[in-house]
C-alpha cells in the first residue's frame, strides 16, 4: 500500500515538474542544449546535413544531443520523448514522414520545450507546435525538374519516377511539383512510379524492375541523387547508356551526383541544400532569447546542367 502511494506521488511530482518547467536551464546558465532527431543516414545529402548540424553546433557553442532514427518514425518519437525527459532547451528534427506528430509535439509544448523543424515539414493544423520550419521548397524543386524536361523533350516521352520515402514531405512535394510542370505537355507521360526510399540500393532495385516491365523508357525522374545513381547501375547492367539511351533527372546535387552529371550519365540536377546547420543554430539562439523568428525560412538553391556541374565540381564541399 505504502509502495503504491509513493509511486503515485513520484508520478504526480514528475508530471508537475515537466509541466511547469521551461525546458532546460539555458535561461540560468546561458548554455544551450539541443536535442536533434535526425532521419537516418540514407543518402549523401543526409550525411552532409548531419555534418553541417554537428559542426555548426560546435561552432555556436551549443551542446548537441544527436540521434539517428534509421528512417523510422517510431525511433524519432522515442528520441523526442527522451529529449523531453532530459529537459533539453530546444528540440530540432527532420520528420521522416509528414503525419503523426501532434501527440509528441504537444508533450514538448507542455514541457515548455520549443521545437524547430528542419529540412522536412509536418502535416498538422496546429502551427503552435513548432517555432519555425527551416528548409527547401520541395514543390519548387519538383517544378524545376519538370520544367527542364518540358523544355528539353520532343515528342512522346515515357518517364519512370523513383519516389522518395512514402509519406515524406520531399516525396509528396517533388511529385506534385513535377506533375504540375509537365501538365501542359501531354506527350510526357509518367508510365511507372515507385518508392526507392531515397537510397541507392532502393533506386537500383526499383529501376531493375522497371527495366524488365517497361520496354520503352526515355527518362528517369529520381527524387534524389542516390536513387538516380542506383538507377545508373541498373541501366548499365541492362546494356544501356545512362544519360544517352535513358535521360536522368535528379534532385540534391551532392558530389557523387554532380560527378555523374559532369560525366554525362545524369542530364540535369535540381539542387537541395543540406547545409542547414548555421541557420539552425542562429534560429535556436533567437528562439531561446525569446526573439521573434519567421515561421518559415526557405533555403536558397539553384539547378545544374552538365556544363554547370563541370564548373561547380572543383569547389563542391559535399
Among 2-10, 38-46, 276-284, 285-293, the segment contacting ligand AHR (CB under 6 A): 38-46
Minimum separation from the CB atom of position 145 to ligand AHR (A): 12
- Exactly one of 198, 210, 221, 318 binds ligand AHR (CB under 6 A); that residue is 198
CB of 198 to ligand AHR, least distance (A): 4
Does 120 interact with ligand AHR (rule: CB under 6 A)?
yes
CB of 44 to ligand AHR, least distance (A): 7
DSSP 206-264: HHHHHHHH-S---EEEESSHHHHHHHHHHHHHTT--BTTTBEEEEEE--HHHHHHHHTT
Choose the binding region for ligand AHR from 37-45, 55-63, 81-89, 210-218 (rule: CB under 6 A): 37-45
Joined together, the cell numbers standing for residue 98 give 509528414
Q: Based on the shown chain and the rule CB under 6 A, indicate whether residue 246 belongs to the binding site for ligand AHR.
A: no
Binding segment for ligand AHR (CB under 6 A), chosen from 42-50, 72-80, 108-116, 187-195, is 42-50
Build a one-symbol-per-residue string for 252-271: x at contacts with ligand AHR by CB under 6 A, - elsewhere. Answer: x-------------------
Q: What are phi and psi of 297, to 5 degrees?
A: -120, 115
Sign of the four-CA dihedral 230, 231, 232, 235: positive
Burial 145-163 (b: 16+ CB within 10 A, else e): bbbbbbeebeeebbbbbbb
By CB under 6 A, tell whether 272 contacts ligand AHR. yes
| Rounded CA separation 264/243 (Å) | 6
Residue from 24, 35, 95, 170 that binds ligand AHR (CB under 6 A)?
A: 170
The CB-of-50 to ligand AHR minimum distance in angstroms stands at: 11
Q: Give the residue, chosen from 46, 131, 175, 204, that forms a contact with ligand AHR under the rule CB under 6 A.
A: 46
Is 42 one of the binding residues for ligand AHR (CB under 6 A)? yes
71 touches ligand AHR by CB under 6 A: no
Q: How far is CA 175 from the centre of its chain?
A: 14
The helix/strand/coil state of 60 is helix
User: Which of the stretches 3-11, 39-47, 214-222, 239-247 binds ligand AHR when contact is defined by CB under 6 A?
Assistant: 39-47
Cβ closer to ligand AHR: 26 or 92? 92
Stretch (H or E) spanning 16: helix 2-20
- Give 146 or 170: the residue with its C-beta nearer to ligand AHR: 170
Closest to 76 (Cα-Cα) out of 89, 63, 86, 66: 66
Q: Which is nearer to ligand AHR, 89 or 119 (CB)?
A: 119
C-beta of 157 vs 250, nearer to ligand AHR: 250
Nearest C-alpha neighbor of 71 from the set 99, 93, 39, 43: 39
| Cell 540535369 sits on residue | 268
Secondary structure, 3-state, 121-167: CCCCCCHHHCCEEEECCHHHHHHHHHHHHHHHCCCCEEEEEEECCCC
User: Does residue 43 belong to the site contacting ligand AHR (CB under 6 A)?
Assistant: yes
Strand, helix or coil for residue 110: helix
**Which residues of this chain interact with ligand AHR, rule CB under 6 A?**
42-43, 45-46, 119-120, 170, 198, 224, 226, 251-252, 272
Amino acid at each position: 500500500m505504502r509502495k503504491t502511494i509513493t509511486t503515485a506521488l513520484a508520478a504526480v511530482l514528475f508530471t508537475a515538474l515537466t509541466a511547469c518547467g521551461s525546458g532546460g536551464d539555458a535561461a540560468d546558465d546561458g548554455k544551450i542544449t539541443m536535442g536533434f532527431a535526425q532521419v537516418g543516414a540514407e543518402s549523401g545529402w543526409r550525411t552532409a546535413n548531419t555534418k553541417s548540424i554537428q559542426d555548426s553546433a560546435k561552432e555556436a557553442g551549443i551542446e548537441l544531443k544527436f540521434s539517428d532514427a534509421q528512417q523510422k518514425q517510431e525511433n524519432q518519437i522515442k528520441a523526442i520523448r527522451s529529449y523531453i525527459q532530459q529537459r533539453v532547451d530546444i528540440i530540432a528534427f527532420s520528420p521522416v514522414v509528414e503525419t503523426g506528430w501532434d501527440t509528441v509535439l504537444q508533450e514538448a509544448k507542455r514541457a515548455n520545450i520549443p521545437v524547430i523543424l528542419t529540412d522536412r515539414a509536418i502535416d498538422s493544423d496546429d502551427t503552435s507546435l513548432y517555432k519555425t520550419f527551416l528548409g527547401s521548397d520541395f514543390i519548387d524543386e519538383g517544378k524545376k525538374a519538370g520544367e527542364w524536361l518540358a523544355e528539353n523533350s520532343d515528342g512522346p516521352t515515357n518517364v519512370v519516377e523513383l519516389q522518395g520515402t512514402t509519406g515524406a514531405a520531399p516525396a509528396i512535394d517533388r511529385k506534385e511539383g513535377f506533375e504540375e510542370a509537365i501538365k501542359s505537355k501531354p506527350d510526357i507521360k509518367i508510365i511507372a512510379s515507385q518508392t526507392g526510399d531515397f537510397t541507392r540500393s532502393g533506386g537500383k532495385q526499383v529501376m531493375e524492375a522497371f527495366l524488365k516491365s517497361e520496354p520503352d523508357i526515355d527518362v528517369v525522374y529520381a527524387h534524389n541523387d542516390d536513387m538516380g545513381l542506383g538507377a545508373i547501375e541498373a541501366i548499365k547492367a541492362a546494356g544501356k547508356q545512362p544519360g544517352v539511351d535513358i535521360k536522368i533527372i535528379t534532385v540534391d546535387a551532392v558530389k557523387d551526383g554532380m560527378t555523374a552529371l559532369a560525366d554525362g550519365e545524369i542530364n540535369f540536377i535540381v539542387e537541395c541544400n543540406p547545409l542547414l546547420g548555421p541557420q539552425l543554430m542562429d534560429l535556436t539562439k533567437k528562439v531561446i532569447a525569446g526573439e521573434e523568428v519567421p515561421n518559415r525560412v526557405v533555403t536558397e538553391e539553384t539547378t545544374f546542367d552538365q556544363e554547370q556541374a563541370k564548373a561547380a565540381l572543383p569547389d563542391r564541399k559535399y
